[in-house]
Copies of this chain bind each other. A is one copy, B any other.
Amino acid sequence: MKTIDPPISVGVLGYRFMGEAHANAMARLPMFFPDAPEVHRDVLVGRDESALAEAATRLGFDRFATDWESVVEDVDVFYNLGPNHLHPEPSIAALESGTPVLCEKPLAPTLDDAERMADAADDAHVQTACAFNYRFVPAIRYAKRLLDAGEVGEIHHVRGRYLQDWLVDPDEPWSWRNDADMAGSGALGDLGSHTIDLARFLVSDQVGGIERVSGHLRTFVGERPVEDDEGTRTVTVDDAYSAQAEFETGAMGTFEASRFATGHKNDHTIEIHGSRGSLRFSLERLNELEVLREDGRGYETVLVTDEDDPYVDRWWPPGHVLGWEHTFVHENFEFLSAVAEGRPFEPDFSAGLAVQRVLNAIVESDGRGEWVSVG
């Protein structure tokens, strides 16, 4: 892949939650990652001009635009942080212009879209990123180190779940996240994609890919009120999913996510049991990893904030904990460095596609009532 000389100009589609998270990440690089390439927050893309103008100023962009078509050609790197149905076209256009693309997860609303995006990435020979930011949690990287070093042994079980509760109230208004056309799926794509990617990242070297799945999807509330309007709209995605999985080696996986898990705000946990040890992680305590060592008698609660822990030397002394947003700083550092240096980046669009294949198989399994092979 080609190298790109800094300063790297970045065009960003999306200026709300994810736009802010990535803008903040880029803004923090010079102080904490001085070895990162210089980045130029160039242009912010959206539809609502006045909101966009405010956001561009606040988030440190030089300019804004309402048409992504011109932007994707005009910048060194394109960040696609829009709603899921806006992932394919702008990303593909950028790739066709030879512009590296970071796209938020899930890669696309449908498997077809994801395949088109991955094909475009293959053709473009530029870096792509599917922004599974939880791969960049220090405790997750530390878990990966332990797994790679064989400290967990042969893996038998992988268990992931992602619990939120923001839809448990039936009067919570309808949003694009409740719409199949715009979001593709519900809890499955939004939350489950994180879980499946994390599982793949952590254990696929040991147990191979997910070969087949059995899925279960459910919509608990079928109609939701429209905000600032009378009437309701139909919810066309799942409120929750569960899945069973079989990895190549026969390791067993169980996965689950819900927007109806009362009391849980952003509770993403992953647990692994192997022949020599076990690991547990919870996003709401993201500085910690629970480790059951071969010679141990119980889980050790490791505060992953020591100087030699992943990324931690960039920040503060031991015990001075990091937050959720730091994962974006690490991700942006790795992606933008890869772009500057002409190296590939992981997780890329093909990783996003791999997750999508699993999600798709889960949906298909739910529909057919039987196990489905992951293509």
Contact = CB atoms under 8 A, between A and B. Distances in A.
A7 B168 CA distance: 46
Interface string A277-315: 110000111111001100011111111011000000001
Contacts of A277: 262-263
B321 A324 contact: yes
Given A30-B58, A324-B321, A157 B260 contact: yes
A275 interface: yes
B214 A246 contact: no
A156 B258 contact: yes
Contacts of A110: none
B17 A31 contact: no
Interface stretch (A19-27, A71-79, A122-130, A175-183): A19-27
Interface in A162-198: 163-166, 168
Contacts of A214: 214, 216, 244, 369
A292 B58 contact: no
A250 interface: yes
B263 A316 contact: no
Nearest to A212: B369
A60 interface: yes
Interface in A237-290: 240, 242-244, 246, 250, 252, 254, 256, 258, 260-267, 273-278, 283-288
Given A286-B321, A318-B266, A371-B370, A244 B242 contact: yes
A208 interface: no
A265 B319 contact: yes
Contacts of A305: 265
B301 A265 contact: no
Contact of A58 (B34, B159, B262): B34
B319 A325 contact: no
Q: Which 6 A-B pairs have the closest CB atoms?
A: A266-B319, A265-B319, A323-B323, A263-B292, A370-B370, A298-B301
